[in-house]
Amino acid sequence: MKNNLNSHIIVIIALVAIVVVGFVAGLVAGSAAASKRGNVLSGDGWLVYSRKDRKAYVELDCNPTTGFDWFVGEVPEGLELVSSKYASSDKSGQRVGAGGTTTIVLKAKSAGHYSVDLVYRRNWEGGETGRVLKLQVDVMGSSKGRLVINGLKMTEE
């Protein structure tokens, strides 16, 4: 009877050890993915992040077949608009009207606090506006003289 009890205890300890190891492995993998993206924010149809460089990446849900698309407002002198590209979520090209994602990349040129409006609007028939998001980017100089995006914030107006 005692051997049977010891066997059960060993099995329970082994199961607990497996669960703990799996949990720790998940944390390590998650933190590695987060470190590749730096500051990460997400909201209703958007994801904003910075990497370990001077760029901010904004991914916005979009569906140009409705006539709406994302437009970047005036970019302040301390930032540079690197790119704004749309990618359909339908890789097969078979689904008419399928939405996708617009990815906007901004690069820091000098330290400071900057604000950029991102406007989801129709560029025709009066330019009807669907949403306005305000991206705030804090850029600071590092101890090694490099520029670093220290903070990101997104609000809807």
Eight-state DSSP code of residue 124: S
Q: What is the pTM of this model?
A: 0.71
pLDDT in tens, 81-126: 999 999 888 776 666 667 899 999 999 999 999 999 999 998 877 7
Contact, 156 vs 130, CB < 8 A?
A: no
Query: Structure tokens of 42?
Result: 């997400």
Task: Report d(CA 85, CA 133) in Å as an integer.
Answer: 17
Q: Is the dihedral of CA 6, 8, 12, 14 positive or negative?
A: positive
Spans of the chain below 70 pLDDT: 1-6, 8-38, 52, 92-97
Query: Structure tokens of 120?
Result: 């989801």
For 103, the 3-state DSSP assignment is strand
Q: Is the dihedral of CA 64, 48, 44, 91 positive or negative?
A: positive
User: Which of 135, 153, 12 lies closest to 74, judged by CA?
Assistant: 135
